[in-house]
Amino acid sequence: PAKISFRGVRKSYDNVPVLERVDLDLAENSFTCLLGPSGCGKSTLLNMIAGFAAPTAGEVLVGGRRVDGPDADRGVVFQEYALFPWRTALQNVAFGPMLKRLPRREQQVIARKYLALVGLSGHEDKYPSSLSGGMKQRVAIARALANDPSVLLMDEPFGALDAQTRETMQEELLRIWERERKTLVFVTHSISEAIFLADRIVVMGTRPGGIKEVLDNDLPHP
Ligand code: ADP
Ligand code: ADP
């Protein structure tokens, strides 16, 4: 059974259609890239899974349940990190466990574990302002994973990084995904990034009904 399903989804802003007739099933634990030019509706599609935006018509299901708002079971990573600047790396990652009202010690154990997973052991007490872009994005990934979500949504997460850091982060993300196994949806306008990362690429065009093809490219993972 698909983890994420779009059934006859349409999305319009002020009566201007952005997406039409979207029927899409994303398998459990798959790594899908949404690929297309700027403005084609990739973020809109992702935001409907996240629960940040509601479809104008049709429905989005995650784990068989209709999405009706954000949920900790769907972790999100943005291009611009969106870290809490007044919180340390550890406190940023502990945020989800804190909202769950886990005991303080347990929050810290979880946060340390995920910071270690993204290679940031030893940087727990640093504030975002003293971290590089790649390190900030590692914190953001750790923060999303600390809720142990079943779905991880990433919107051009490496788009603000220099080419070399981006490559390192792509490799790290594959390593993390192979270990943690989430249903991962990753937005990019970079063909090479999609080919490197995804086991499935959903290609989107600029016309509203423009999900022209869903390429199951069956790429073996590196
Ligand atoms: P999006 O709206 O999809 O997030 P942006 O317009 O913010 O994309 O573009 C991010 C960066 O990528 C910008 O520097 C932009 O010039 C570049 N860019 C946008 N579209 C493409 C593309 N098709 N191929 C290569 N670079 C692109
Ligand atoms: P992409 O992520 O592929 O760059 P988006 O999903 O961000 O594309 O945007 C798709 C289209 O929807 C664009 O024309 C954009 O201007 C429009 N759009 C996105 N969000 C909103 C919004 N909140 N209100 C109005 N128009 C929007």
Q: Of ligand 1's atoms, which has the minimum distance to the CA of residue 37?
A: 23
Q: How far is the CA of 21 from the centre of ligand 1 (A)?
A: 25
Q: How far is the CA of 44 from the centre of ligand 2 (A)?
A: 6
Ligand 2 residue neighbourhood (C-beta within 6 Å): 13, 18, 36, 38-44
145 vs 216, more confident: 145
Task: Give the tokens for residue 13.
Answer: 């802003």
Q: Of ligand 1's atoms, which has the minimum distance to the CA of residue 39?
A: 2
The one-letter amino acid code at 40 reads C
On average, the pLDDT of the chain sits at 91
52 vs 9: CA distance, rounded Å: 15
Helices (DSSP H) in the chain: which residue ranges?
Answer: 42-50, 89-93, 95-99, 104-117, 133-145, 163-180, 191-197
Is 214's pLDDT higher than 60? no
pLDDT at residue 163 in the model: 93
pLDDT at residue 122 in the model: 96
Is 175's pLDDT higher than 70? yes
For residue 3, how far is the Cα from the chain centroid?
Answer: 14
Cα angle 220-113-120, degrees, rounded to a multiple of 5: 80
The predicted-structure confidence for 83-140, as pLDDT tens digits, reads as follows 999 999 999 999 999 999 999 999 999 999 999 999 999 999 999 999 999 999 999 9
Average pLDDT in the 162-191 region? 93
Q: How far is the CA of 23 from the centre of ligand 1 (A)?
A: 26
192 C-beta closer than 6 A to ligand 1:
no
pLDDT at residue 222 in the model: 45
Is 81's pLDDT higher than 80? yes
CB 83 within 8 A of CB 140: yes
Q: How far is the CA of 156 from the centre of ligand 1 (A)?
A: 10
Q: Of ligand 1's atoms, which has the minimum distance to the CA of residue 187?
A: 3
Three-state SS string across 107-148, please?
HHHHHHHHHHHCCCCCCCCCCHHHCCHHHHHHHHHHHHHCCC
220 vs 117, more confident: 117
The predicted-structure confidence for 8-42, as pLDDT tens digits, reads as follows 999 999 988 889 889 999 999 999 999 998 888 99
156 C-beta closer than 6 A to ligand 1:
yes
Q: How far is the CA of 121 from the centre of ligand 2 (A)?
A: 37
